[in-house]
C-alpha cells in the first residue's frame, strides 16, 4: 500500500486534480481510498457523482460513534471515499478534527492494507498542526503540492514545503509540484523555477481549460466526462508517475527574503525596488497557448510502509471515572519509582493531578517531591506551537535526571495544537535514556481509566523484554487500585497468602515498581489480576496477546469463601494444594471460633441490605454464618457468580420503597451502602471492603458494637 497526500492553497484545484488522478489510477485496476481532509467536505464530490456524503465528524457529533459503513462510500470505478468534515464555519477546530478522524478510522478497524493507494486531500493554506498530520511519518509516504503560478499559490506552496522540511526525518516526502495553470504571465517558467529552487521537480502542468468546469457541472471527473482529451492524458501521466516513479526529497524552502526576490524576478519579471513595482494595466491573457507537458523522470525509490500506532481501545460497557485520561496516565507513571513524568500542559493540569495523588494515604506516597514536571504551556505555545518549549524542558530533565526514563504525557491543549512530538522524541531519544510519549490528550483521550490503560499498554510495548522465559513459583500482580485507601492492606493480604504458598511476587504492574522489574515482567509464570472490571480485562487480554503471558482468573478475595477459593485456584497452578488447604484450615478454625462467640448477639435477627451494586457476597455469607435471616436485598447489581445462593435483588432506591420493604419484612436492622433515614437501626457497610478471609468477621465485630448503641436517644422519651 502506498499513501499519497495532495496539498495546496485553498481553491487551487486540489480536489479536482486528485479526483482525476485517482480516477486514472482506478482505470488501471488499482484499489484506492480517498480521504478528504477539508472542512468543506467536497473532496470526493466528483467521484460520487455530486453526492455529499456523511462525514466522519458529522456522524460523530450526531451519534457519538462512527461506523465505516456510513462514512465510507463507493464512487466511480469502485473508488472508496471518506470525508473527514469539520465544525461549522467560525467555531471549533478543524485541524483537531483531522487528527480525530484519522484516529477514529483506525479505531474502527479501517485496514488500509487492502488498498493499493490511500490518498489524502488536504487544505494547505491552513498551517495548524491538525492539517499537518498527513505529512508525518506513519501517514503519507509522498506529498504532492498543487500550485498555480499566482503569487498567493506560490506563497502557500513554500509554506507547505517548510512544514514538510520540519516533519521529514530520515527520508524525503516531497514527490513534486503539480502545476494547475491559471493563465498568468510566464506561469510555466514560474512553476519550473520554483520547483528547482525548493529542490524538487515539476511533475506536470495542467492547462486552463473550459472542460474542467463543464465536467464539474456534471459532477464527473475529466476521466469520465472527456476521457479522450489531452487533459485526460495529462492526468493519466500524473497517475503513471505516481505508480512507476518514486524519488521524494526533503524540500529546501525559500526564506522570506528569497521568496520575495523570486516573486519579483519571475512573477513580476523585474528586481526588487525601494518603491512598489507598477503592475501592468492591461489585463492578462487568459487563453495562452497550450504548453507541452514536462517529461516524467524515470528514477524510482522503494516506498517505506506505514508503521501502525499502538491501539489503546477504551473499555466499553463500564461506568466511566470522571477524571481525564491525563490524570489516569499519571496515576500509572507516578508508581514507577525511577522515572520522571512530564506533562505537556498548562500548570493547572499538573497541579490538579499532583493534588489528587497527594490526597492518598501518606504511606503510599511518602516523598514530598513528586516525579512530575510540567511544560507550563502558555498562550504563545497554543498559537505558535509548543515544540520548542517541550524540547527545552526535555533537555533540562535529561540534564537533571540523566539516568531516568522520561514519560511525556500530553494534555487536551497539546492534542489540539498538533505538535509533532514523536519526531522530537526521535531526535532526543538515546539508548541510555528513553523518552516515551503517552498521548492521553486529556479529556479528548477519554476518562481516567482510558488514560491508565493507554499508559500501561505503551509502557509494556516499550520496556517489557519479550525474550525472557518464566521461572517457577513467580507471579505478577495486575491492576492494583493505586488511589484506594485499601491498596496497601490488600497487597499485604495477597502477599501473605502467596508467601504461605511459597510463591514470589515478580512485578506489580503498575504499582510501586521499577523499570527493571517491568523489563523482567515475563519472568513470572502467571499474571494475577487483583481487581475486576472491563479495564482490567482489557489490560490482561493485551498482555496475554502481545507478550504470550497467561492470566489467571480468580474471584476478588473478599470474605472467607471467596478468599479460600482465590487461594485454591492459585495453588492449583503451582502444585501447592496441600499448602493452600493448610492455610485455609488454620484460618477457618479461628474464624469459626470467633463466629460462635458472636452468634448470641445475632441469631434469629432479621436484616435488610441496601446496596448500590457493590460486592456483597461476603456480607451475605457472614450474616448467614451468624444465623441472621436476610429478608430483602435492594440493589442494582450484585457482583457474584450465578451459583451463589443470594436472594434476588430489587432495583429501587426511593425512600418510600425502602420504608415499604421495612414495613413488610420487619427487620431488626438495615445494612446500607449509603445513609438512610429509617424507622429501624441502620448501619453502613464498606462499598470497597479490604481483601482477606476475615473482612466479614471484622465487620461483624464492629456491627455488634454499633447495634448495642440505643437507636433512639434517651431525651426523646422525656415526654413520657
The residue from 31, 40, 606, 631 that is catalytic is 40
The residue from 2, 14, 522, 525 that is catalytic is 14
The torsion of the CA quartet 378, 384, 388, 394, rounded to 10 degrees, works out to: 40
- Distance CA(539)–CA(518), nearest Å, equals 15
The residue from 2, 9, 173, 525 that is catalytic is 9
Q: Name the 3-class secondary structure at 670.
A: strand
Q: Is 9 a catalytic residue?
A: yes
Outline where 548-667 has alpha helix (H): 560-574, 577-602, 617-625, 655-665
Written as nine digits, the cell of 274 is 525601494
The residue from 2, 38, 121, 125 that is catalytic is 125
Q: Is 271 a catalytic residue?
A: no
Q: Is 290 a catalytic residue?
A: no
Distances (CA, A) of 621 to 295, 629, 638: 85, 11, 13
- Distance CA(512)–CA(488), nearest Å, equals 10
The residues near 595 (Cβ < 8 Å, ≥ 6 apart) are 625, 626, 697, 700
Burial class (CB in 10 A: 0-12, 13-18, 19+), 281: exposed
177 dihedral zone (left: phi>0; alpha: psi -120 to 50; beta) = beta
- Distance CA(273)–CA(49), nearest Å, equals 50
Is 345:378 a contact under the CB 8 Å cutoff? no
- Distance CA(538)–CA(72), nearest Å, equals 28
Angle at 173 between CA 172 and CA 179, to 5 degrees: 125
Which DSSP string corresponds to 114-171?
Answer: GSSEEEEEEESS--SGGGGGGGSTTS-SEEEEEE-SSHHHHHHHHHHHHHHHHH--SS
What pairs with residue 204 in β-bridges?
A: 178
Burial class (CB in 10 A: 0-12, 13-18, 19+), 375: buried
Q: Is 14 a catalytic residue?
A: yes
Per the listing, cell 509533532 goes with 420
Is 455:440 a contact under the CB 8 Å cutoff? yes
- Distance CA(556)–CA(640), nearest Å, equals 10
What pairs with residue 633 in β-bridges?
A: 609
Going by C-alpha positions, the residue among 39, 28, 4, 30 that lies closest to residue 18 is: 4
For the annotated catalytic residues, the residue numbers are 9, 14, 40, 125
Amino acid at each position: 500500500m502506498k499513501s499519497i497526500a495532495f496539498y495546496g492553497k485553498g481553491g487551487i484545484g486540489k480536489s479536482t486534480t486528485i479526483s482525476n488522478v485517482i480516477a486514472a489510477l482506478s482505470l488501471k485496476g488499482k484499489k484506492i481510498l480517498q480521504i478528504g481532509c477539508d472542512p468543506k467536505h467536497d473532496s470526493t464530490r466528483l467521484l460520487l457523482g455530486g453526492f455529499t456524503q456523511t462525514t466522519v465528524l458529522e456522524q460523530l457529533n450526531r451519534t457519538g460513534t462512527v461506523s465505516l459503513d456510513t462514512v465510507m462510500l463507493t464512487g466511480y470505478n469502485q473508488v472508496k471515499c471518506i470525508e473527514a468534515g469539520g465544525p461549522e464555519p467560525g467555531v471549533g477546530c478543524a485541524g483537531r478534527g483531522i487528527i480525530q478522524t484519522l484516529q477514529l478510522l483506525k479505531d474502527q478497524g479501517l485496514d488500509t492494507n487492502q488498498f493499493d493507494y490511500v490518498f489524502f486531500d488536504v487544505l494547505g493554506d491552513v498551517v495548524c498542526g491538525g492539517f499537518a498530520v498527513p505529512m508525518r511519518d506513519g501517514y503519507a509516504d509522498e506529498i504532492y503540492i498543487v500550485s498555480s503560478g499566482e503569487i498567493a499559490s506560490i506563497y502557500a506552496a513554500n509554506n507547505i514545503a517548510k512544514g514538510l522540511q520540519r516533519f521529514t526525518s530520515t527520508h524525503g516526502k516531497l514527490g513534486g509540484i503539480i502545476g494547475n495553470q491559471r493563465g498568468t504571465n510566464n506561469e510555466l517558467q514560474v512553476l519550473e523555477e520554483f520547483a528547482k529552487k525548493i529542490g524538487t521537480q515539476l511533475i506536470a502542468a495542467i492547462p486552463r481549460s473550459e472542460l474542467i468546469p463543464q465536467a464539474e457541472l456534471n459532477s464527473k471527473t475529466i476521466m469520465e466526462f472527456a476521457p479522450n482529451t489531452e487533459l485526460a492524458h495529462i492526468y493519466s501521466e500524473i497517475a503513471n508517475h505516481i505508480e512507476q516513479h518514486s524519488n521524494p526529497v526533503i524540500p529546501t524552502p525559500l526564506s522570506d527574503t528569497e521568496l520575495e526576490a523570486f516573486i519579483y524576478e519571475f512573477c513580476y519579471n523585474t528586481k526588487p525596488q525601494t518603491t512598489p513595482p507598477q503592475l501592468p494595466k492591461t489585463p492578462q491573457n487568459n487563453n495562452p497557448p497550450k504548453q507541452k507537458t514536462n517529461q516524467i523522470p524515470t528514477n524510482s525509490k522503494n516506498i517505506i510502509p506505514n508503521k501502525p500506532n499502538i491501539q489503546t481501545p477504551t473499555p466499553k460497557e463500564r461506568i466511566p471515572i470522571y477524571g481525564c485520561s491525563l490524570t489516569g496516565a499519571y496515576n500509572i507513571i507516578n508508581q514507577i519509582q525511577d522515572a520522571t513524568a512530564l506533562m505537556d500542559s498548562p500548570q493547572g493540569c499538573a497541579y490538579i493531578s499532583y493534588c489528587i495523588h497527594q490526597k492518598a494515604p501518606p504511606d503510599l506516597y511518602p516523598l514530598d517531591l513528586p516525579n512530575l514536571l510540567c511544560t507550563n504551556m502558555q498562550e504563545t505555545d497554543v498559537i505558535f506551537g509548543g515544540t520548542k518549549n517541550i524540547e527545552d524542558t526535555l533537555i533540562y530533565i535529561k540534564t537533571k535526571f540523566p539516568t531516568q526514563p522520561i514519560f511525556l504525557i500530553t494534555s487536551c491543549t497539546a492534542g489540539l495544537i498538533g505538535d509533532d512530538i514523536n519526531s522530537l522524541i526521535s531526535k532526543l531519544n538515546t539508548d541510555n535514556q528513553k523518552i516515551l510519549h503517552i498521548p492521553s490528550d486529556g479529556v479528548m483521550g477519554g476518562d481516567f481509566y482510558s488514560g491508565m490503560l493507554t499508559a500501561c499498554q505503551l509502557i509494556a510495548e516499550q520496556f517489557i523484554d519479550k525474550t525472557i522465559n518464566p521461572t517457577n513459583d513467580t507471579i505478577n500482580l495486575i491492576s492494583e487500585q493505586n488511589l484506594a485507601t485499601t491498596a496497601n492492606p490488600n497487597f499485604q493480604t495477597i502477599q501473605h497468602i502467596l508467601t504461605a504458598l511459597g510463591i514470589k511476587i515478580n512485578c506489580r504492574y503498575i504499582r510501586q515498581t521499577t523499570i527493571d522489574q517491568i523489563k523482567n515482567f515475563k519472568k513470572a509464570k502467571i499474571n494475577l489480576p487483583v481487581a475486576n472490571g472491563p479495564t482490567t480485562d482489557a489490560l490482561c487480554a493485551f498482555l496475554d496477546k502481545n507478550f504470550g503471558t497467561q492470566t489467571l482468573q480468580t474471584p476478588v478475595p473478599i470474605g472467607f469463601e471467596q478468599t479460600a477459593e482465590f487461594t485454591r485456584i492459585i495453588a492449583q497452578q503451582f502444585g501447592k494444594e496441600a499448602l493452600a488447604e493448610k492455610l485455609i484450615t488454620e484460618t477457618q478454625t479461628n474464624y469459626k471460633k470467633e463466629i460462635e462467640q458472636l452468634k448470641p448477639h445475632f441469631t434469629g435477627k432479621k436484616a435488610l441490605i441496601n446496596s448500590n451494586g457493590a460486592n456483597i457476597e461476603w456480607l451475605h455469607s457472614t450474616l448467614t454464618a451468624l444465623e441472621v435471616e436476610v429478608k430483602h436485598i435492594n440493589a442494582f447489581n450484585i457482583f457474584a457468580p450465578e451459583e451463589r445462593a443470594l436472594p434476588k435483588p430489587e432495583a429501587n432506591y426511593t425512600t418510600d420503597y425502602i420504608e415499604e420493604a421495612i414495613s413488610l419484612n420487619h427487620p431488626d436492622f438495615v445494612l446500607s451502602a449509603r445513609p438512610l433515614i429509617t424507622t429501624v437501626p441502620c448501619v453502613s457497610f464498606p462499598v470497597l471492603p479490604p481483601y482477606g478471609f476475615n473482612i466479614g468477621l471484622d465487620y461483624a465485630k464492629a456491627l455488634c458494637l454499633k447495634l448495642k448503641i440505643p437507636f433512639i436517644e434517651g431525651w426523646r422519651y422525656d415526654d413520657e
